[in-house]
Amino acid sequence: MTFWDDVQRGVTNAASFTAKKTTELTGMAKLKYSLHIKEGKLEKCFAEIGKLHYAAKKDGEDHTVEIDTFVMQIDKLTEDIGGLKMELSKLKNTHVCDECFAEISKECTFCPVCGATIETEEE
């Protein structure tokens, strides 16, 4: 009977592993989708600031209040994007640069994108 016990144990372990990986992949997909949406909103905010700046230069209108509103939205979106990238990096077992939010290998001590020093958990 030990052969069938071993088979049953193997099937149970495989099913548990598959369920765990499926959950991880689903979590990554949700984070990537949220990241995509936030990055799209960020681009729209920058575009709107550009349009307002152009209108201000062309027509001499003051759009400072509207631009300030978009700046606050950009700051919030940038913070949210950084948080999503951090969550995603934990699932992928990588680091995210605190300065430019680039995803980098855990072995890096400096960000290859911006050159910032990477703080590790031991520090």
- Nearest one of 27, 26, 123, 20 to 84, comparing CA atoms: 27
- Give the confidence band of 123 by pLDDT, cuts at 50, 70, 90: very low
Domain residue spans of the chain: 2-92, 93-123
Q: Which tens digit of pLDDT belongs to each residue from 69-105?
A: 999 999 999 999 988 988 888 888 888 888 887 888 8
User: From CA 20, how far away is CA 16, in angstroms rounded?
Assistant: 6
Q: How many residues does the chain have?
A: 123
Q: Which tens digit of pLDDT belongs to each residue from 39-78?
A: 999 999 999 999 999 999 999 889 999 999 999 999 999 9
User: From CA 41, how far away is CA 47, in angstroms rounded?
Assistant: 10
pLDDT value at residue 74: 97
